Amino acid sequence: MPPSTETRPYTATPEGVRLAVRLTPRASRTGLDGLVEGADGRVWLQMRVAAPPVEGAANTALIAALADTLHLRRSDIRIVSGDTARQKILALGGDPSLLAARLDAWIAGAATRR
């Protein structure tokens, strides 16, 4: 069952979707940890990457992981805000309904593995 609109870490745009990610660098593995709610009530996709937060390595690893998982080109993903912060907003280019379905399936799969 897909998450409700209020618990989704993304919003559809005419160009694709905007994805809210909370990133943990220097982790033991790269992957999805699920969803986390911020102090302001906003829902974030909790990701971790093995790369360190040095010279953009963690951002590059995040983009690579998302591209592989969501079957996108790396050039279809860009960081809109939070380039040097843990909380980032990413723009994913493509068909919004297709991207939303892929994100919902990925999030649901992560929830069942926990």
Residue in the structure block whose two tokens are 């592989």: 68
Structure tokens at 22: 């909370």
Q: Please determine, for residue 6, whether its predicted confidence score (pLDDT) is greater than 90.
A: no
pLDDT digits (tens, 9 = 90+) for 32-46: 999 999 888 999 999
User: Which has the higher per-residue pLDDT, 5 or 77?
Assistant: 77
The CA-based angle 13-31-63, given to 5 degrees, is: 45
Distance CA 112, CA 56 (A): 31
In the chain, the amino acid numbered 74 is: R
pLDDT tens profile 55-107: 999 999 999 999 999 999 999 999 999 999 999 999 999 999 999 999 999 99
Q: Residue 3 pLDDT more than 80?
A: no
